[in-house]
């Protein structure tokens, strides 16, 4: 993406300024993305003059809102290459999507002795729900190791998979290392063993063009707030037949067919998995966010952000005071450690320079253990990031190095 395009894009994001109106170098997009004005406006309209609940009212406003909510589902389906909007379940976020699959599909399909394959770089949201499921069902968890440069080692996975594996659950893009999974190979390995594949697409959906048919996974999850939309909404995708075979996980209004004390029957998916009043305004704002990123083109975003990541790595390496984690070619996420400086101290000094990075374990404690560090510093880029952000990061790092001698 050209610098002029990014400059004009920065102006779309009111969150990229400090309260004093100075440039704020936001390098924490992997945690949550800033929102373009178009998303803020869509949310504000939905909460204001368009507001009513969905699926129930006999009045026109509610009917209109229902159309808006369902149009968002259709837009998500189109965005990720789903066959039908019935394959799109709105959830609170990726975390809830994974918990839904673990509870519903996992509860119905796992037996004592069955195995679940995860990897060493997973986010806690793609570990803990499976641990809870394993405790409940007597299933066991295996951890696929990483390659030297921080990718999921699919050669190792190939030799570890057995017919006892019922599920493989992997990050499509690592939130710490930025490494991109060869998802097609992961799908073919999982399916070769007779297992289902869940992809955690939290970091991929905002950065890569997605096509569920080409990926050939079984479940895909992502969060709205990481793709420039609001918090409180996310997406679970699965093929209709798979969703159809899954029992409900939460009970309440909107997910039923008929309720009586003699017994209740359930709505077909996706409604079966959307108990209660849904995230109406969030869905409408997510629609606006998807329109926004789609207009730029996801391939363009990937190239733009990974070029920034490569430049940041080169500049960090030039200091001779940095350990870099993760592969050289990655999505727009860079994790590193500065010699003799705790990541939290670095984060605090950078904050004084209007540079926001993430410092910590990034909800990936097993990965920190693998890397042999308690925490890393992480700079993550978004569609609005440019070289001025990398320069500001490097100025802050030089200053930190001077302070720490």
Catalytic residues: 363
* Contact indicator for 218, 198 with CB cutoff of 8 Å: yes
Per CB under 6 A, does 123 bind ligand PMP?
yes
CA dist., res. 309 & res. 176, Å (int) = 13
Residue 125 contacts ligand PMP per CB under 6 A:
yes
Q: Cβ(1)–Cβ(364) under 8 Å?
A: no
| Binding flags for ligand PMP, 205-234, as an x/- string (CB under 6 A) | ------------------x-----------
Of 119, 203, 376, 400, the one binding ligand PMP (CB under 6 A) is 203
Q: Is the peptide bond before 269 cis (omega within 30 degrees of 0)?
A: no
DSSP at 268 = P
Q: Is 175 in the site for ligand PMP (CB under 6 A)?
A: yes
Q: CB 121 → ligand PMP: shortest distance, Å?
A: 9
Say whether 166 sits in a helix, a strand or coil.
Answer: strand
We find the least distance from the C-beta atom of residue 67 to ligand PMP, in angstroms, to be: 27
Is residue 200 part of the contact set for ligand PMP (CB under 6 A)? Answer: yes
Based on CB atoms, which residue is closest to ligand PMP, 93 or 248?
93
Nearer to ligand PMP, 68 or 206 (CB): 206
* CB closer to ligand PMP out of 64 and 250: 250
Provide the pairing of β-strand 234-238 with 219-223. Answer: antiparallel
User: Is residue 181 within the footprint of ligand PMP (CB under 6 A)?
Assistant: no
Q: Considering only residues 268-327, where is the footprint of ligand PMP by CB under 6 A? A: none
Sign of CA dihedral 29, 32, 33, 37: negative
CA dist 400 and 2 (Å) reads: 31
Cα 63 from Cα 154, distance rounded (Å):
48
Stretch of 51-59, 93-101, 313-321, 334-342 lying at the interface with ligand PMP (CB under 6 A): 93-101
Counting contacts by CB under 6 A, is residue 28 touching ligand PMP?
no
Identify the three-state secondary structure at position 282: helix
- The answer to the question of residue 94 lying near ligand PMP (CB under 6 A) is yes
Contact 158, 188 (CB under 8 A): no
When the beta carbons of 273 and 401 are compared against ligand PMP, the nearer one is 273
Applying CB under 6 A, the site for ligand PMP has a residue count of 14
Q: Using CB under 6 A, which of the segments 56-64, 198-206, 267-275, 336-344 binds ligand PMP? A: 198-206
205 or 346: CB nearest ligand PMP: 205
Residues with Cβ within 8 Å of 1's Cβ and at least 6 positions away in sequence, in order, are 9, 296, 300, 301, 303, 304, 383
202 touching ligand PMP, by CB under 6 A: yes
Rg (CA), the chain: 22
CB closer to ligand PMP out of 175 and 376: 175
Note the Cα 255 to chain centre separation in Å.
26
Nearest distance in Å: CB 314, ligand PMP: 25
| DSSP per-residue letters across 108-136 | HH--TT-EEEEETT--GGGTHHHHHHHHH
Q: Could you list the residues that contact ligand PMP (CB under 6 A)?
A: 31, 93-95, 123, 125-126, 171, 175, 200, 202-203, 223, 363
């Amino acid at each position: 993406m050209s610098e002029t395009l990014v400059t004009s894009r920065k102006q779309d994001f009111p969150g990229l300024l400090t309260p004093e109106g100075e440039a704020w170098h936001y390098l924490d997009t992997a945690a949550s993305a800033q929102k373009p004005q178009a998303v803020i406006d869509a949310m504000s309209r939905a909460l204001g003059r368009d507001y009513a609940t969905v699926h129930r009212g006999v009045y026109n406003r509610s009917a209109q809102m229902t159309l808006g909510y369902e149009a968002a589902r259709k837009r998500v389906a189109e965005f990720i290459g789903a066959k039908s909007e019935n394959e799109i379940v709105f959830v609170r976020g990726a975390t809830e999507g994974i918990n839904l699959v673990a509870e519903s599909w996992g509860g119905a399909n796992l037996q004592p002795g069955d195995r679940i394959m995860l990897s060493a770089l997973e986010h806690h949201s793609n570990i803990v729900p499976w641990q809870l499921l394993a405790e409940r069902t007597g299933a066991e968890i295996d951890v696929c190791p990483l390659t030297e440069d921080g990718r999921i080692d699919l050669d190792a996975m190939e030799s570890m998979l057995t017919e006892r594996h019922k599920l493989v659950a992997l990050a499509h893009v690592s939130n710490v290392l930025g490494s991109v999974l060869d998802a097609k190979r992961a799908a073919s390995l999982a399916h070769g063993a007779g297992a289902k594949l869940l992809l955690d697409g939290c970091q991929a959906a905002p950065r890569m063009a997605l096509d569920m048919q080409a990926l050939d996974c079984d479940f895909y999850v992502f969060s709205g707030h990481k793709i420039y939309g609001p918090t409180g909404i996310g997406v679970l995708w699965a093929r209709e037949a798979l969703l159809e075979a899954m029992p409900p996980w939460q009970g309440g209004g909107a997910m039923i067919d008929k309720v009586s004390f003699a017994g209740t029957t359930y709505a077909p998916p996706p409604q079966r998995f959307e108990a209660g009043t849904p995230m109406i305004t969030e869905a409408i704002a997510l629609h606006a966010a998807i329109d926004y990123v789609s207009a730029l083109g996801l391939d363009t975003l990937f190239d733009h952000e990974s070029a920034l990541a490569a430049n940041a790595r080169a500049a960090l390496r030039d200091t001779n005071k940095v350990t870099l984690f993760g592969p050289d070619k990655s999505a727009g996420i860079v994790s590193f450690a500065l010699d003799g400086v705790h990541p939290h101290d670095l984060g605090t000094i950078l904050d004084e320079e209007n540079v926001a990075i993430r410092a910590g374990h990034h909800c990936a404690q097993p990965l920190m253990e693998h890397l042999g560090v308690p925490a890393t510093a992480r700079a993550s880029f978004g569609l609005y990031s440019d070289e001025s952000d990398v320069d500001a990061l490097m100025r802050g790092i030089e200053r930190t190095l001077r302070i720490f001698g």
